[in-house]
Structure 1
Amino acid sequence: MNIEKKLLEIIKEEELIQKEIIKRFGKITNEEKKEVRKTLKDLYKKDVVYKDQKNRYHIKTEHKVVGTIEFTRRGTMAFVTGKSGEEVAITIENAGNAMHGDRVLIEKIGKWRDLDSGKVVKILKRGTKTLVGQVQKKKSTCFVIPIESKINSDFYIPKKYEKNVKNGQIVKIEVIKYKTKVKNPEAKVIEILGNENEPKIDLPIVLAKHDLPEPKKFKENVMNEARSIPNKIIKKDLKGRKDFRNDLIFTIDGDTAKDFDDAVGIKKLDNGNYELGVHIADVSNYVKENKPLDLEAYRRGTSVYLIDTVIPMLPHELSDWICSLVENEERLTMSLIMEINKNGDIVSSNIYNGVIKSKKRLTYKKVNLILNNEADEKLEKEIGWLRPQFELMKELMEILRENRKKRGSILDIESGEIYFEFDEKGFVKDIIPVERGISEVIIEEFMIKANEVIASYFFDKELPFIYRVHANPDPQLLIQLKNYLDIIGVKVDLPNKITSNVLQEILNNTKNHPLSKSIQKLLVRTMKRAIYSDENIGHFGLGSSAYTHFTSPIRRYPDLIVHRMLKKYIKNNYKLTKEDIEKYRKILPEIAEQSSKNERNANEAEWDLYDMKKAEYMQSHLSEEFEVFITGITKFGFFVEIPEKMINGLVHVSELKDDYYNYREKDNMLIGEKTKRILKVGDKLKVKAVKVNKLKAEIDFIPILEKKLNKPKKNRKNKKSKKRR
C-alpha cells in the first residue's frame, strides 16, 4: 500500500483531523497506523499539507503559502516566509484579521516590488496569546495599547477583567477574543507591571513581551532533577576518560561571568607546530535526553543576557557549579586536541571524553593588561607566571586569523557592544562603547577553529549533524551598498558571484575612510542571519565550508546536541550506528528550527531592553546637540545614529524646514526642491532630540542644517550621450 498516495487522496476528498484520517484507512495494523502518522508528519514538515485552527489537514496548492506573518515595526506592512524560503509581501488591507506572529495561509495575488504579493485567506494558528501594553481609560471604558508597534490593534478590557488598573499603567494581558472586521480584540489583565517611568519596569516588560521565564525560576520537576545531581565528580564518571588534570589549563572570561564552559591549554611542539587544547564542559553527562532538564533546555534553547540579568538555560546548580570549569575543581569535559602548523592548518586532531582541573580563572581584562605590558605589581604576582602561555596564544591567534583572512573570512567588524552606567536610582547615567582586547580575539579564534574541526568530522563522513550556517548576502541589499559607495566616491566592482573576500576587500579599502563605520554597518545589513540547520550550506561570514556550535553547551541547546552526537561518534569508533543515523535525520531539522527561533527571540529581547535604556538616556538629554550620521533614508525622513553612544532615531521629513524634500528611491536620497540639498546615507550633521517614547524605544530628532548646500554632481557622461543621440 502506498501510504502517502492514499493519505493525499483522503485529505483532498475531505478535511479531517489525524484520528479521522487513520479511520479512513480501514482495518490496519498498529505498525501501519504508526507509519501513517509518520508519513503525515513528514508531509506536514515538507509543506505538502497544512493544519487549520481545528487541526484538520488540507493540501497546499501551488499559489498558496503557509508561514508566520511578521508585520513591520510600524505595523503598516507584513511579510510571510514559507518553508522553502520564499517571501511574500502582504499590504495592510490584505492582512485581514491576522496579527503579528500568527501562522497563516496566504494566496498569491500579484507583485509588490520584486516580491510576490498575497492576501491572508485563513488564520491557522494564533501566535499572540499574551502581550504587554499601556492602560488607556476613558470614562468607564478601558483599553490597552500594545507596546509592540507591530501589533496595530488596541485591546478592549471588559470591566470584570480590569483588575483595578489605573490610567497609564503598564500591564500584561491575555487575549480572550481576537479581532473581527467590526470589533476590537478583547483581553483580560493578568498582571500589573508598574508605572511608565520607573526604571525597574523595563525588564518585566521585555520578559512579558518575549514570553521569557522569570530569572532563576524553573519548574519544580526540573529543579528536583538538578538537585539530585552530585555536586562533585563521582568515580564512575571517570571511566574511559582521558586525564588532563595535570596539564596547564585555564579559563578566560568576562569579569562578571559565572558559567565557564570553555578552557584552553597550549604547547609548542618540537617540530615547531602548536598543540591547542580546547576543553568544553561535558553538560551532556548530566543533562540526559528527554528528562525534565533536557526538555526545559530544549524549550528555552539558549540563555538570555539582559544587561545585568541572566535567564539561564540550565539551573545554577549546573550552570554555575558542576558544569562550570571552576578553578581548582575537577570537571568533566569534551576535549579537542589539535596540532596546528605555522600556516594555521590542522595537521591532526582528536576528540576525547576528558577530565580537567583548571589552574586559573582569568579575565579578559587581566590578560590584556599582561599582554599590553600594563600590569601592576599585584597583577604580575598573581598571573605573571602565565605570560609565556599568553604570548604563545597570541602568536597562534595571529596565525589563525591570517589563515582565515586568506580564505575570505570577514574580519574586523566591530561588535557594537556597549556598557550602561546607572545612577543610584537605577536610571542610565552614561553609555560607553566596549572595545575588544587581544585576549577576546584569542579566545574567539580558538573557538572558531574548534567549531570548524568538530563540524568537519561529521561533514566529511556525510553523517547527519546540526550546523551553524550563514547564507550568501541579499543581492538587492548589495546593490544598495554599491550605490552608496558610488555616491561617497568609493568605486567597487561587484562580481556576479559574491564571496566573503569581496566584502572583506571593501572593509580593507575603507577602514581609513571618514565614513568607515557607516560603510561597515551597511555591509552588515546586506548579510543574512546565521541560523542552525541540518543541511550544510557553509558559513559565508567566516568563509567556512563546515561550521557548528560546540563550545557553549551550558548556554546553547545545539551545542548540547553536538556533544551527545560526539559521544556516540567516539563510542562507535568514529562513526554513527544505522539507528543513530536514522534517529538524527529525523529529529535534527526540528531541533535546528526551534533553536534558531529561540535564538532570534533572545536576541530581540536583548535589543529591546538596550533600546529602551538608550531611550531612557535620551530623556535626560533632550534639546542637547549631537553629531550624527545618517544610517537610512525613507520617503518619510531619515534615520540617524549618535556613533559614540550607538543611539538611533528618526528625523521626520516634516522637520526639514529649509525646503520641500523629494525622495529619490533609485539613489536612496532626499533632495531639496529649491536648494538641491542632498541628504544620503553616511552624511554627517547635527541634531537635537525633541521627543522620546521609552516604551516603544522611539527617539525623534530635529536637524540643525547648515547653510552650505550639498548639491548633486552633474553627470558629464549623460550630457555627452545626449549630444550623440
Structure 2
Amino acid sequence: MLRQKIFIKKSKRNNILKIVREHYLREDIPCGVEFCSPCNILVANNNDHNFHRTPVLLSSSSEGINGLHKSAALLIPDTNVFLHQMDVMEHSLIVNVVVLQTVLQEVRHRSSPAYKRLTECIAEPKKKFFTFVNEFHKDTYVEREPKESANDRNDRAIRQAALWYQQHLKQQQQQSLEDDDCNEDVVVILLTNDVENMKKARSEGIISYTVHEYISNMMGCTDLKDRLAAIQEDMEVDGKEKDLFPEHLPLSAIQKGLKSGQLLQGTFQASRENYLEATVNIHDSEQQVFIQGRLNLNRAVHEDVVVVRMLPQSQWSHPSSLIVDDEGEKPDEEDDDDDDDLQKKLARTMDKHKVPTGQVVGILKRNWRQYCGILQKSLIRGMTRHLFVPAERRIPKIRIETRQAEQFENQRIVVVIDGWPRHSRYPQGHFVKRLGEIGDKKTENEVLLLEHDIPHSTFSESVLACLPALPWIITAKDLSTRLDLRETCVCSVDPPGCTDIDDALHCKQLASGNYEVGVHIADVSHFIRPGTALDSEAASRGTTVYLIDKRIDMVPELLSSNLCSLRGGEERFAFSVLWEMTSEARVVSCKYTKSIIKSQAALTYAEAQMKIDDPTQTDDVTEGLRRLNRLAKILKQKRVENGALTLASPEIRFHMDSETHDPIDVQAKELRETNSMVEEFMLLANIYTAKKIFEDFPDCSVLRRHPPPPVNNFEPLVQVAKLKGFHVDTSSGKKLADSLESATTSDNPYFNTMLRILATRCMMQAVYFCSGTLSQADFFHYGLASPIYTHFTSPIRRYSDILVHRLLAASIGADASYPQLLDKIKIQNVCKNLNFRHRMAQYAGRASVALHTQIFFKNRVLDEEGYVLFVRKNALQVLIPKYGLEGTIFLDKGENKLGEYNEEENSQRFGSHVMRMFDKVIVQVSIDASNIQHQKLILKLVYPKIDGLSVPSVKELNCKMEVDKNKDKNKKEDALDTSWSSVVKK
C-alpha cells in the first residue's frame, strides 16, 4: 500500500517547491510472537525483508511473578519509560518487550545514552526485546491530524500498535483453542508514565499501567523495585513543605537574559574542599564566576550546564581558606543555621581579593551520570529512605528509597539522580546495582573506572574480527613499499615491565662527520583502518589508561603487546623520522618514511643508563646511546634557552607483592639522564611532524596546544616566592623559567622542586584541536615554548597519534588519503572526546595511586619528612616527597582553634612559632578508617613541637610501649615471687 503526502515549501531563494513524500505500508510485517503461526510463516517465506526475524520467546519466568495478571505478559513501553526507567528495563526479570519503531526513533532523537542502552537490550537474546516497525504496518500506522502535536500523534501511534497486538494475539489464541493447540495465555500491557496517555489507553480497551504500578506488584523483586526512578509528580509536594531553594527561571526568561547579556551560561565546577563553594566556567570565554552559599548554588550538580546572574560588586566574595565537608544527615525541615553561620564566618574574611561572584538561576543541561558510593543508613529504625554518599566529593549526597539497607552495609553500590525538588536538601535518586564489598581491591578498581568513565569492557567480536590472522608475516610487497632498516642498530628504552613499546631510536655517524638520528614509531595505522569497528572502538576509548596494577588498553592486546610493540629481536613495521644532525644538534635535513625495523635491544631506563656509564662497553647499541644522550643534552639546553618550562610533579613507584599484588613498598620515581634523552627526541619528532602535516593540511591537522595561564593563576606562586625573598616574573614563559631556575636556597634543597610543583598547578591543561578552528597565533604550546606541536610518538596508547600518522602518510604519499580527515568539524569533535578521555585517564591514574597508597598504609604508622604546601585557615596541607602524596593536618580541635591565621602572609601562628608555605615538617602518617567512604591519610604533626597539635613520634611511642611492657613484666614477676614466698612459708 502506498500513501503520498504533497505539500508546498518556499526555498531560501523564495522559489516555490512542490514536495512529494511516499510512505509504503505493508501487511507482511510479523508480530514476533512465537506461537503466532501466520507471522512465523511470513518470516520463513520472506528472508529478504529487513524486519526483525527472530521471534520473541515467551518466558515462563515472567508468569505469576506479577500480582496484576497470572498470564505471561507482553510489554509495550512508551518513550518515557525507556528515557526514565532504563535501569528497570535492563533488569533480567524484564523480558518479552516489544520496542515500537516510533518509540525507538523518539529515544534516539532525545537521548543518545538511553538509545545505546536500549539497542544493547535489543541485541541481547536473553532479554527477548523485539523491534516492531509499526510505522510501516498498514494496521498500526496513523496519520497526524490537523493541529495535533507530534508528541500526541506518537502517543496515538503507540496506543494503536498496542491495540493491534492485543487483538492480533487474541485472535491467534482463539484459533489455537479451536485447533486444540496448547498455547500460553498472553496479556498485552502498555507501560507508560504519562497519566493522560494511560487514561486514553484504558478508555480504548487497552490494558495499561504505570511502571511503578506494574513493578510494585511483582512478587519477591525487591532489587527491581529499588531501581524505580522517582518521577516528577512523586517529587511534588502539596504546599506544606518549606521551599529550601529559589525557583529556577523559566526557559523564556533564560533565553532573554542570555541574549541581553544579563545572564551568563557556563559549566558548574563544584569545589573539592568546600561543599558550599563552586566555580562556573563561562562558555566561549576565559571568564570564571565564583559561587558561594547553598542558596546561590541552587541545586546545581558538578558538570551541569548552568545559567548564572552576577551579584552586585558589594556582594562579591572569594574562595574560603577553610576546608569544609558536608558531614552527617540534615532533615529537610531543619533550618540551615549551621550553613548560615559558616557563610557569615566566611564573609568576615572576604574584605580583600574579592572575585566576580554570582548565583545560579537556571539549569540548561543536567550532566548526571551513574555514581558509585555507599549507603548511609537512616538513624530511624524501619525507614526505607536513606542517604547515599558518593565516592566523588564534589557530588552531593543523594536520597534514595530502598528496602535492602541491611544487605547494602559494607557494599559499594551505584545510584543515579532522578531530580532535585526545591523543598529537598538533597537530590533524589534510585539504586541501580551493587558492585561488591568495600575495601575489596577488585571492587575498588571497578569504582575507580566507573567514576572516571573509563571504557573497560572486553573488546567485542566485531572489533576482534578486524585483527590480522596469525602467524603474521612481512610480505614481498611490504618490503617493496617500505624502507628496510633491519640492519640499522635500533633500540628502545622504556620503563621496567613495559610491553606496549611504541618508540625506538638509533644514532650512527655519517662519513661527513654528522649524525643520522632516527625516531621509529610503531605503525599502528597500518593495522587500524578507518571506518572499521576497531577504529571506532579506539576512537571512543581515546587512550590507554595506566593504573598501578593493571592497564586498560586502547587497542586489543594482539596489537598493543605483540604486532605493534617494537620488541627486541623482532621485525616490526614502523613510521620513521630521520634527521641528519651536526655535532651541535643542528638539524641539516629531515625525512619521513614507512619502514621495517628490527630492534637490537629493548632496554629499561636503568639498563640504558648503566650501558652509557660503563666505559668497558663499546658495542654498537651502547655507542649509539652515548651519541643520543650527548645530543639530547644540547637539545634540552636549547629548549630551556627558548623559554621551555621544567616543571615538577611528585611521581611514585609501588613495589608489589608477587602473590597478593598489594604494595609492600613505595618510593619516588628516580629520573635518569636516559629519561630525558628519550623525552628530547620524542619532543623533536612531535614538533617536526606538526610542522609537516600543518604545511600540507593547514585546515585539518590534529595539533596540541597549551594555553598560557591567566595572570591570577600565578598569585599563590608569586606570593610564596615573595615571602621567601624571591621575585617570580610571570610576564612570559621565558621569564618564568628563568625565575624558577634562580629560586634556590642552601638551607632547603627541596625548595626549588616545591616551587616547580606549585608552578605546575598554575598551568592550564594542554588540549588537542583541529588547526582549521583556531588562528595560528593560538597554536602556541606554552610549556614547551613551541609555536606548533602535536602527538606522533605513541599511537599504541593514543588515538590522536593514529590520526597524525594518517595525515603524515597522506602527506608523503605513503598511504591513500583519508576523506574523513579533511572535515575539520568532525576532527574537532574527535579532539573534544580525546581531551575528555585524556583528562579522565590522568584522574584515574592518580586515583589508583591514592588507592594503593591507602592499602600500603592500612596497617602502618610511619614518621616521614614533609613540606607545607598550602596554609589554610583551619588546616595545613602537607606534601610528603618520598611517597608523592598529600595530606591535611586540621587545626580545629572541637571548640579550640589552635592557630592564628594571617591571610596576607598565608601563615599560621602558634604562640611564638609561625608556620608558612614550604616549611619543613615531620609528620606521622596513618589511615583514617572511620570514614569508610572517603578513607584518607591522616597526618599528625611530630615536628616542630606545637602545644595541642604535635604528637609523639613512632619511635617515642615504641619506646613507651617497651617501657610499659617491661613494667607489666616486672609486676607479674613480683606477683609470682610473692605467691611463691607464701607457698614456701606454708
Q: TM-score, normalised by structure 1?
A: 0.81
Mapping 1:9-158, distance limit 5 Å: 60-61=258-259, 62-74=261-273, 75-81=275-281, 82-91=283-292, 92-110=294-312, 111-113=316-318, 115-138=355-378, 139-140=381-382, 141=384, 142-158=386-402
Alignment partner of 1:437 out of 669, 672, 679: 672
Deviation at 1:706, TM superposition (A): 4.0
The residue type equivalent to 1:154 in the other structure is I
Aligned to 1:554: 796
The residue type equivalent to 1:206 in the other structure is L
Counterparts of 2:250 and 2:307, CA distance in 1: 11
Counterparts of 1:130 and 1:591, CA distance in 2: 24
> Is residue 401–residue 430 contact of structure 2 (8 Å, CA) maintained in 1?
yes
Deviation at 1:562, TM superposition (A): 0.7
The residue type equivalent to 2:566 in the other structure is L
Counterparts of 1:251 and 1:30, CA distance in 2: 67
Residues 67 and 589 of structure 1: is their aligned pair in 2 closer, same or farther, counting only changes over 3 Å? farther
Mapping 1:220-235, distance limit 5 Å: 220-226=461-467, 231-235=472-476
Alignment partner of 2:858 out of 612, 619, 644: 619
In terms of Rg, which structure is larger? 2
SS of equivalent to 1:212: coil
Alignment partner of 1:662 out of 900, 907, 924: 900
Alignment partner of 2:891 out of 646, 653, 656: 653
Counterparts of 1:256 and 1:499, CA distance in 2: 36
Aligned to 2:37: none
Mapping 1:341-356, distance limit 5 Å: 341-356=582-597
Counterparts of 1:471 and 1:233, CA distance in 2: 43
- Counting aligned pairs with the same residue, the percent is 26
Aligned to 1:365: 606
Deviation at 1:369, TM superposition (A): 1.8
Aligned to 1:393: 628
Deviation at 1:522, TM superposition (A): 1.6
Residues 600 and 28 of structure 1: is their aligned pair in 2 closer, same or farther, counting only changes over 3 Å? farther
Matched, 1:464 2:665: no
Counterparts of 1:169 and 1:476, CA distance in 2: 43
Residues 420 and 666 of structure 1: is their aligned pair in 2 closer, same or farther, counting only changes over 3 Å? farther
Counterparts of 2:370 and 2:609, CA distance in 1: 46
CA deviation digits over 1:651-692, x for unaligned, max 9?
Answer: 1121599974333223222234xx253221111223334662
CA deviation digits over 1:67-100, x for unaligned, max 9?
Answer: 3322111433222222333222223422222211
Aligned to 1:206: 448
Aligned to 1:500: 734
SS of equivalent to 2:465: helix
> Is residue 409–residue 501 contact of structure 1 (8 Å, CA) maintained in 2?
no
SS of equivalent to 1:145: strand
**Which sections of structure 1, spanning at least 5 residues, go unmatched?**
1-21, 32-51, 710-725
Mapping 1:399-438, distance limit 5 Å: 399-411=634-646, 413=648, 416-422=651-657, 424-438=659-673
Alignment partner of 1:685 out of 906, 921, 932: 921
Residues 148 and 176 of structure 1: is their aligned pair in 2 closer, same or farther, counting only changes over 3 Å? closer
CA deviation digits over 1:460-501, x for unaligned, max 9?
Answer: 564532222222234224232222122223x22526x22234
The residue type equivalent to 1:87 in the other structure is Q
The residue type equivalent to 2:756 in the other structure is Q
Mapping 1:509-658, distance limit 5 Å: 509-510=743-744, 513-514=748-749, 515-534=751-770, 535=774, 536-571=778-813, 583-622=822-861, 624-655=862-893
> Is residue 502–residue 796 contact of structure 2 (8 Å, CA) maintained in 1?
yes
> Is residue 290–residue 356 contact of structure 2 (8 Å, CA) maintained in 1?
yes
Aligned to 2:155: none
The residue type equivalent to 2:737 in the other structure is L
The residue type equivalent to 1:134 in the other structure is I
Counterparts of 1:474 and 1:283, CA distance in 2: 38
> Is residue 387–residue 397 contact of structure 2 (8 Å, CA) maintained in 1?
no
SS of equivalent to 2:846: helix
CA deviation digits over 1:169-223, x for unaligned, max 9?
Answer: 11223x16122223444444444333223334321120121122336x1233222
Matched, 1:451 2:686: yes
Aligned to 2:560: 319
> Is residue 507–residue 520 contact of structure 1 (8 Å, CA) maintained in 2?
no
The residue type equivalent to 2:709 in the other structure is P
Aligned to 1:48: none
> Is residue 575–residue 593 contact of structure 2 (8 Å, CA) maintained in 1?
yes
The residue type equivalent to 1:127 in the other structure is N
> Is residue 431–residue 645 contact of structure 1 (8 Å, CA) maintained in 2?
yes
Higher relative contact order (CA 8 A, sep 6+): 1
CA deviation digits over 1:287-318, x for unaligned, max 9?
Answer: 12232112111211110000120001111122
Deviation at 1:412, TM superposition (A): 6.8
Residues 344 and 227 of structure 1: is their aligned pair in 2 closer, same or farther, counting only changes over 3 Å? closer
Aligned to 1:328: 569
Residues 600 and 73 of structure 1: is their aligned pair in 2 closer, same or farther, counting only changes over 3 Å? same
Residues 704 and 432 of structure 1: is their aligned pair in 2 closer, same or farther, counting only changes over 3 Å? closer
190-199 or 596-605, which deviates more? 190-199
> Is residue 888–residue 938 contact of structure 2 (8 Å, CA) maintained in 1?
yes
Displaced runs of 4+ in structure 1, greater than 6 A?
Answer: 22-31, 656-659
Matched, 1:276 2:517: yes
CA deviation digits over 1:252-293, x for unaligned, max 9?
Answer: 222211111112121122333221111111111221223211
314-323 or 358-367, which deviates more? 358-367
Deviation at 1:600, TM superposition (A): 0.7
> Is residue 640–residue 648 contact of structure 1 (8 Å, CA) maintained in 2?
yes
> Is residue 574–residue 594 contact of structure 2 (8 Å, CA) maintained in 1?
yes
CA deviation digits over 1:686-720, x for unaligned, max 9?
Answer: 333466257435333232464699xxxxxxxxxxx
Alignment partner of 1:250 out of 472, 491, 495: 491
Residues 115 and 456 of structure 1: is their aligned pair in 2 closer, same or farther, counting only changes over 3 Å? farther
302-311 or 193-202, which deviates more? 193-202
Deviation at 1:516, TM superposition (A): 2.8
Aligned to 2:227: none
CA deviation digits over 1:332-357, x for unaligned, max 9?
Answer: 22211112223333221011122222
The residue type equivalent to 2:278 in the other structure is A
Residues 179 and 278 of structure 1: is their aligned pair in 2 closer, same or farther, counting only changes over 3 Å? same
> Is residue 854–residue 927 contact of structure 2 (8 Å, CA) maintained in 1?
no
Tell me how many residue pairs correspond in the alignment: 648
Counterparts of 2:18 and 2:739, CA distance in 1: 61
Matched, 1:241 2:475: no
Deviation at 1:596, TM superposition (A): 1.2
Counterparts of 1:682 and 1:260, CA distance in 2: 39
Aligned to 2:940: 702
Deviation at 1:531, TM superposition (A): 1.8
Q: TM-score, normalised by structure 2?
A: 0.61
> Is residue 404–residue 543 contact of structure 1 (8 Å, CA) maintained in 2?
yes
SS of equivalent to 1:308: coil
SS of equivalent to 1:619: coil
Deviation at 1:394, TM superposition (A): 1.5
